[in-house]
Amino acid sequence: MDENTIFIALGLLCLFVLIGIVSNKIIFFDSDEDLWANILFFFWALCFGGVASLYPDLETYTIIQKIFFWLGAVIFGSIALGCLGKTFSATIKGNGIILGLFMLVFKLLFTLVMILFILGKISEAFDDDNKKKKGNIVILLAVFALLKIFWKPLKSFFVNGDRVRAKRGELISIESDTAN
């Protein structure tokens, strides 16, 4: 397979997911908690990776440093796995096993690409080689202002668990019994 075929297949796959989300057939993020668990997974995994990168020098550490190393590795790793487990369970619960596993991978890749894009823009704005530093900071601030303005519509688009369940007829509505 050549690269173009792979990119076309990935583009069609993303289009399939986007159509499923827009038509309220596929749950992308079940709730705000699912969205933040997905985002925080990468933060805690990065913290775990930072601690794990210190492992080759472990023999030269004192006993206190070794204790802090293992505490950091266990705590950051378990929090990252907890966030991943929360995202996994919400995705499987909302979409079933087959589509849920696919959507889990898709959500993780989507979030990773978005985080790398944002970090790349931040890095580009503070790059010393670039002579137009003030212009880049203004562009970065404009991007953050646009994110602030469009955060609620974007969040309501991506967090679609209740809408999909309502369309499927799975949403249980609780009405108050105060009329009697």
* Any domain includes 78: yes
Decide if 107 is inside a domain.
Answer: yes
Give the pLDDT confidence score for residue 91 in this predicted structure. Answer: 92
pLDDT in tens, 74-114: 999 999 999 999 999 999 998 889 999 999 999 999 999 98
- Evaluate whether residue 30 is within a structural domain: yes
Residue 128 lies in a domain: yes
* Residue 33 included in any domain: yes
Question: 142-161 as b/e, with b when 16 or more CB fall inside 10 Å?
Answer: eeeeeeeeeeeeeeeeebbb
Cα-Cα-Cα-Cα torsion 144, 27, 32, 82, nearest 10 degrees, comes to: -110
Number of folded domains in the chain? Answer: 1
Q: What is the domain extent for residue 112?
A: 22-168
- When pLDDT is cut at 50, 70 and 90, the band that residue 121 belongs to is confident
Q: Does residue 16 form part of some domain?
A: no
Report the C-alpha gap between 92 and 59 in whole angstroms: 42
**Mean pLDDT computed over 44-50:** 93
Does any domain span residue 80? yes
* Structure confidence at residue 117 (pLDDT): 85
